[in-house]
Amino acid sequence: MYDILLTLMLILSVFIIIVIAMQPTKTQSASNAFLGGASQLFGKQKARGFEAVLIKTTVVCLILFFILALVMTRLF
Query: Does the CA dihedral 51-54-55-56 come out positive or negative?
Result: positive
15 within 8 A of 21, measured Cβ to Cβ? no
Q: For 6-15, 33-42, 44-53, which range has the lowest pLDDT when averaged over its residues?
A: 33-42
pLDDT at 25: 79
Q: Give the number of residues written for the chain.
A: 76
pLDDT, one tens digit per residue, over 19-30 is 999 998 776 555
The pLDDT, as a whole number, for residue 69 is: 95
- Average pLDDT of span 26-45: 59
Query: In the chain, where are the structural domains located?
Result: 1-24+47-76
